[in-house]
Amino acid sequence: MTPTAAPTWDDFVVAWELFRDPIACAFAAGAVLGMLSVYVVLRRMVFVSAAVTQSAALGVAASFYAEIHLGLAFDPVFGAAAAALGATLLLLFDPKKLGVSRESVLGWVFAATGGATVVLGSRITQEAHDIESILFGTAVLVRPLDLTLVLAVGAAVLLLQLALHRGLVFASFDPVAARVQRLPVTALSSAVLLAIGIMVGVSARALGALPVFAFSTMPALTALLLGSGVRAAFVVAAAVGALSGVLGYLCAFFWDLPVGGAQAGLACGFALAALVLRSGYRLAVSLRRGRGRPGAAPTGDTRG
């Protein structure tokens, strides 16, 4: 590959050993976060996902800072997981008892962790590239430890979803009836929030906060716009998340783009395409109904 020539499939195949792990990581994280995104969107937790993702980024930045300035060496992936879990646990408490809305706490977590990440980042200039990769997902390579954690936590979250999804859907749809039928509604809500927290934590170090946030919100939007039922929505969202991760990586390779930006852009692109498809379908249906009605304008123009 010359510096001026665009990369080809042959280049990609030759370097497959190098790309295998990041693509596997993007596939697994995209699929699992995509599946979880259905809960994020249906339970109106998009801002929760943003705050937890931002906290994971702070955890990575704090790990670098601790190693450089305090001599405390621990892997940033554990810093990310710990910070994401910490934020999740904070969000598990009901702030209404203090006369404060949950949105206020979310806003505080997002602003505080975002600000702290930028401040810590300015004090670890020798790792500035790493901080950028954490925030925007510009890292091309993924470490074996990151991949192992994403695969292990992803598998555990999938099993949890399989076990809890019927209860979670009921508790989301009608929490009072679910309580009356003696379902552990609070425990179910906590379980899904913790699953999101831990998966975001381990994925953020590997892929970056931006694509992780995109994977944990956009795939559900795509699935719901495509008109999927609840069970199909989990499958479609997982597929869209995995596709966004893998295709985003390929786009970044072939067109020399930042990986995280390409992955997040694709996830948003799928949602936009689904929105266009749904709007077109609705328009077609309304036009067909209009034509079918006696006395309707034959051109479909209903203006008076």
Partner 1 sequence: MSGAAATSATAGAARPGELLLRCRSLVVGYRGEGLLPPLDLELRRGTLVGVLGRNGSGKSTWFKTLLGLLRPVAGRVERSAPGLRMAYVPQSAGLDAILPLSARDVVAQGRLTGTSFLRPWASAEDRRVVAGALEAVGVAGLARRRFRDLSKGQQQRVLFARMLATRADLALLDEPTAAMDVEGEREAVAELARLAHGERMAVVLVTHALELAERNCDELIVFDRPARRVVHGPSAEVAGGALYRRLRGELA
CA distances from 21 to 87, 149, 211, 271, 275 (A): 28, 12, 17, 26, 32
Taking the C-alpha atoms of residue 263 and residue 32, their distance in angstroms, rounded to an integer, is: 15
Among positions 80, 120, 207, 233, the unique one binding partner 1 when judged by CB under 8 A: 233
H or E stretch covering 115: helix 102-122
First to last CA, the chain: 64
Binding of partner 1 by 85 (CB under 8 A): no
The CB-side HSE value for 102 (13 A sphere, CA atoms) comes to 14
Task: For partner 1, give the closer residue by CB, 188 or 200.
Answer: 188
Taking the C-alpha atoms of residue 221 and residue 281, their distance in angstroms, rounded to an integer, is: 17
Binding of partner 1 by 160 (CB under 8 A): no
Q: Nearest distance from residue 243's CB to partner 1, in Å?
A: 21
* Residue list 281-300, contact with partner 1 (CB under 8 A): none
Binding of partner 1 by 180 (CB under 8 A): yes
Binding of partner 1 by 48 (CB under 8 A): no
Task: For partner 1, give the closer residue by CB, 158 or 257.
Answer: 158
Q: Nearest distance from residue 44's CB to partner 1, in Å?
A: 8
Among positions 174, 276, 289, 302, the unique one binding partner 1 when judged by CB under 8 A: 174
Question: Tell me, what DSSP letter sits at residue 229?
Answer: -
For residues 114 and 54, is the Cβ–Cβ distance under 8 A? Answer: yes
Taking the C-alpha atoms of residue 63 and residue 254, their distance in angstroms, rounded to an integer, is: 33
Contact stretch for partner 1 (CB under 8 A) within 77-85, 144-152, 229-237, 266-274: 229-237
Among positions 169, 198, 202, 250, the unique one binding partner 1 when judged by CB under 8 A: 169
Q: Using CB under 8 A as the criterion, which residues of the chain lie in contact with partner 1 when the complex forms?
A: 41-42, 162-167, 169-170, 172-174, 176-184, 224, 227-230, 233
